[in-house]
Amino acid sequence: MGRRVSLLGLCFWVCTFVCGAVSADSHSSRGENTVQVNVSVGKSAIAEIDEDFVCATLDWWPPEKCDYGVCSWHSASLLNLDLSNKILLNAVKAFSPLKIRLGGTLQDKVLYNTSDLKEPCTSFVKDSSIMFGFTQGCLPMARWDQLNAFFEESGAKIIFGLNALNGRTIPSQGPAVGAWDSTNAESFIRYTVNKNYKIFGWELGNELSGNGVGTRVAAGQYASDTISLTNLVLDIYKDVEPKPLILAPGGFVDSLWYKEFLDKTPKSLDVITHHIYNLGSGADQHLVEKILDPTVLDGELATFRNLQSIIKSSASATSVVAWVGEAGGAYNSGRDHVSNTFLYSFWYLDQLGMASTFDTKTYCRQAFIGGNYGLLDATSFVPNPDYYR
């Protein structure tokens, strides 16, 4: 069931998060000092969002990921995040349920250490001469077990971003060549289902649509790979309910690419995801002025409108919905003293409102923790102002 978007709803929702507080104490004091204010502005709904519209991401970036000389990820990677931290647990629990999308740039270089893996399970190693600046990495199954224990305890709904570059050749120019090799993903999904871990959705790939970031995959190829994923998931989950969602492509909206992709995946895709970094680079000295400029913020309206119309006119119109799968405002990890301050809420709240009016069902903020744009501080785990939005 969806939630109606009206100004009344948004105001109430903002208050709920602004007035709440999260403490490391297991008897959370959240809500004790809540002042309820009812603001009645309008009652007619203009769109519907998911009941659990709020989503945040966890990424793979290792501590060695640095941007413009600032290393802002610390131990916030899926591979090393301290899952025993009480603030982290309570911060996820407070949303019950919080959707968490696991992924990011390096997801298309991650191997899963299931029994089919024919090579050693090694960590990412920094190498600025190669695509994405790191070698391939690997998720040990022991770590996957720990992550799932945490997700279950915190009540999170997990969207897992699969490596969509497996098996392809990446030429120096032009799109990646060849079909997706789903072997490792298949055994990873089987392992997950055998362990009874609940995955809300499986997403294929990260930022490979259109011109791509680092490399790209042609829309027709991506559509056939997505259909392969759907068939695989239906087979693995044949005796399991509920079925997980299938999401793709988690990239930037490119009209022709998205249109072709949607036309070629009718009934295979549940959610079309797109990413937003509408504030430009985190290195920009004028980021503050941009955030306070409504013209800059409204620049994203065209993308939402465009995607909405592409969906409506596509062969998937009745079966697919749109999510923002990852949005961090300023790319390359945000900017210290800007994306982790109260000021960033002018961007974030504007985006939440804008997305919902264009029928976006879920909005995933980059990142729950990590970089300069985390909802939690990457070292202290203390919530930044945007957490309360």
Ligand X SMILES: *[C@@H]1O[C@H](CO)[C@@H](O)[C@H](O)[C@H]1NC(C)=O
Supply the minimum distance, in Å, between the C-beta of residue 197 and ligand X: 17
Beta carbon nearer to ligand X, 113 or 372: 113
Number of residues that bind ligand X (CB under 6 A): 6
Q: How far is the CB of 140 from ligand X (least distance, A)?
A: 3
Q: Does 77 bind ligand X (CB under 6 A)?
A: no
| Residue 306, C-beta contacts closer than 8 angstroms, at least 6 positions apart | 253, 255
Q: Least Å distance between CB 35 and ligand X?
A: 9
How many whole angstroms separate alpha carbon 281 and alpha carbon 203? Answer: 26
Q: Between 11 and 71, name the residue whose CB sits nearer to ligand X.
A: 11
Q: Is 70 in the site for ligand X (CB under 6 A)?
A: no
Q: Which of 1, 27, 33, 38 binds ligand X (CB under 6 A)?
A: 38
Residue 21 contacts ligand X per CB under 6 A: no
Contacting ligand X within 135-194 (CB under 6 A):
140, 142
| Rounded least distance, CB 117 to ligand X, Å | 7
Which of 77, 90, 113, 166 touches ligand X by CB under 6 A? Answer: 113
Contact flag: residue 33 with ligand X (CB under 6 A):
no
Shortest gap between Cβ of 139 and ligand X (angstroms)?
A: 9
- Which of residues 114 and 166 has its CB atom nearest to ligand X in the complex? 114
| Closest residue to ligand X, based on beta-carbon distance | 140
121, 193, 232, 349: which one contacts ligand X (CB under 6 A)? 121
**Between residues 197 and 237, which has the closer beta carbon with respect to ligand X?**
197
Applying CB under 6 A, does 36 fall inside the site for ligand X? yes
Of 122 and 255, which has the nearer Cβ to ligand X? 122
Of 94, 98, 57, 49, residue with least CA distance to 365: 57
- The residues that are catalytic are 207, 326
Query: Given the complex with ligand X, which of 39 and 292 has the nearer CB atom?
Result: 39
CB of 201 to ligand X, least distance (A): 25
343 binds ligand X (CB under 6 A): no
Residues lying near ligand X in the complex (CB under 6 A) are found at 36, 38, 113, 121, 140, 142
